[in-house]
Amino acid sequence: MNIHNRIGMDLASFDRLLQEVVTSDRDLTPPSVVLSSVMDLINAGGKRLRPLMVVIGSRFGDNDNDSAVMKTAVLLEYLHMASLVHDDIIDQSDMRRGRPTLHETTDIQTAVQIGNYMIARAIEWAAHSNGEPDGSSEDVSEEEAYRLAELAALVTELCMGEYDQLHHRFNYDLTMEQYLEKTRCKTALLMAHCLKAGAEAAHADPPIAERLFQIGEAIGMAFQIQDDLLDFTKPKEAIGKPAGADLRNGNITLPVIYALNDPALAPKIRQLGPHSSEADMDDVIIHITVSTAIEQSEQLARSYAEQAQLMIGEFADHPAQQDLQALLQYFLP
């Protein structure tokens, strides 16, 4: 059984809600490149893990406020999709989920503006819709509006992770603390906020929402470290990019930081720069792949997963604990 079925989240209904955000926008007049592009992004699929986390978080609340929960889930998924559109431009990625990226099918300027549109429209929709796929409207309370706008402001945190990555391009003196902070901003914070925002939308007690934030953060850190590992260990076909693509782009990830502690490997790594040959890159990447750096990185990912597990254990008497457990198992089998 897949994770969405286990949690009881109907993906098709959720995707209809995502579509409704753009189809109900009266400022869009078909044919519109914005409308077709956003629909393509939605139809390309995706695991919808952030909305799933919102739904799980909401189960720790005491209020069955489905509309507020769904609006939160939609807004955070739009934020995620828009950030991927901009990330693909930064990373010069030409494919995502087996399809050409938006800036490839349009152009960079158009893709940037569509990403901007998506966030602004998602908050506008969330503030005025009743969260149902029928397009009916109902203005939210001012308190709810602030909560939604605060979630949109998470863009600044995501940017900080990208700024860090930019500042430390090919910086082999990147410290473990700097790497962890970058990882936190880039990935873990949004996941942490998804669990917390779901709980808050359902009026959960603030200490519970805060604990869910910490669980989401630990899961997010473990998830990103695993993603960094996959960049070295998975074949190109499995991840859709060449092995070691992060290092080739100057992005110093955890396996590289650990590999730099190897006196034999460090000088080889340090000689790599933006103009290194493919052969030199390939050679170092193969050495990292068979080094102890991989096992050390796996260990740190496991330690974050264990932290999450310990915190999940605190909810032993709560009926939604099994949902958190399923989430952890999904991310870190």
Residues that bind other proteins (CB under 8 A): 27-28, 33-34, 86, 89-90, 92, 108-110, 112-114, 116-117, 119-121, 123-124, 127, 142, 145-146, 149-150, 152-156, 158-160, 162-164, 166-167, 169
Cα dist from 289 to 18, 228, 230, 292, whole Å? 40, 12, 10, 8
In this complex, which beta carbon is closest to other proteins, that of residue 97 or of residue 128? 128
- C-beta of 156: minimal distance to other proteins in Å? 4
- C-beta of 189: minimal distance to other proteins in Å? 13
- C-beta of 112: minimal distance to other proteins in Å? 5
Q: How far apart are CA 232 and CA 327, in angstroms?
A: 25
Structure-block tokens of residue 131: 């969260």
Element holding 133 (H helix, E strand): none
Residue with tokens 């914005």: 34
- C-beta of 253: minimal distance to other proteins in Å? 18
CA 30 to chain centre: 31
Does residue 293 contact residue 264 with C-beta atoms inside 8 Å? no
Taking alpha carbons only, the member of 47, 45, 8, 104 closest to residue 227 is 47
Cα dist from 190 to 75, 183, 246, 283, whole Å? 12, 11, 21, 35
In this complex, which beta carbon is closest to other proteins, that of residue 39 or of residue 145? 145
DSSP code of residue 269: H
In this complex, which beta carbon is closest to other proteins, that of residue 155 or of residue 326? 155
Residue by residue, DSSP assigns 175-191 as: -HHHHHHHHIIIIIHHH
In this complex, which beta carbon is closest to other proteins, that of residue 118 or of residue 204? 118
- C-beta of 28: minimal distance to other proteins in Å? 7
In this complex, which beta carbon is closest to other proteins, that of residue 39 or of residue 159? 159
- C-beta of 284: minimal distance to other proteins in Å? 22
- C-beta of 196: minimal distance to other proteins in Å? 16
Cα–Cα–Cα angle for 40, 42, 47, rounded to 5 degrees: 135
In this complex, which beta carbon is closest to other proteins, that of residue 154 or of residue 332? 154
In this complex, which beta carbon is closest to other proteins, that of residue 122 or of residue 288? 122
Q: How far apart are CA 315 and CA 127, in angstroms?
A: 32
